[in-house]
Amino acid sequence: MSIKRINTGTRMSEIVVHNGTVYLAGQVGELNASVTDQTRQALGEVERLLAEVGSSPKHILQTVIWLADMNDFEEMNAVWDAWVPAGHAPARACGEARLALPGYRVELIVTAAIPA
């Protein structure tokens, strides 16, 4: 089975597809923006990347969300809850972590299926 890597650099690929499963690199929003804006922007990138390989938010299997501060949990969830397609909530985890740069407040890591 082949592995397809899209937008590959020296450090990572933006998308990896294997056996009908899509793995996205961590998605973030604009540096120093609010948690609401970063979450919206990151989810927009998730949609765009999934569409690039023929998938969509309805086909997300799992999402791991990292917050720089768990006090932002409710603010992030307000955006997430409005975005997730009804009846298609993926398995999800959310934790606190120091993100790559201090201005990042949320990062999303998504695994999805490509519909047959």
The pLDDT value recorded for residue 18 is 98
pLDDT per residue as tens digits for the range 70-108 = 999 999 999 999 999 999 999 999 999 999 999 999 999
Q: Is 64 exposed, middle or buried (0-12, 13-18, 19+ CB in 10 A)?
A: middle
Q: Is the pTM of this model over 0.85?
A: yes
Report the number of distinct structural domains present in the chain: 1
**pLDDT surpasses 90 at 1:** no
The CATH number of whichever domain residue 61 belongs to comes to 3.30.1330.40
Q: Give the N- to C-terminal CA distance of the chain in Å, as an integer.
A: 16
Which structural domain, as residue segments, surrounds residue 103?
Answer: 3-113
Cα three-residue angle 45-49-51, rounded to 5 degrees? 115
pLDDT per residue as tens digits for the range 26-61 = 999 999 999 999 999 999 999 999 999 999 999 999
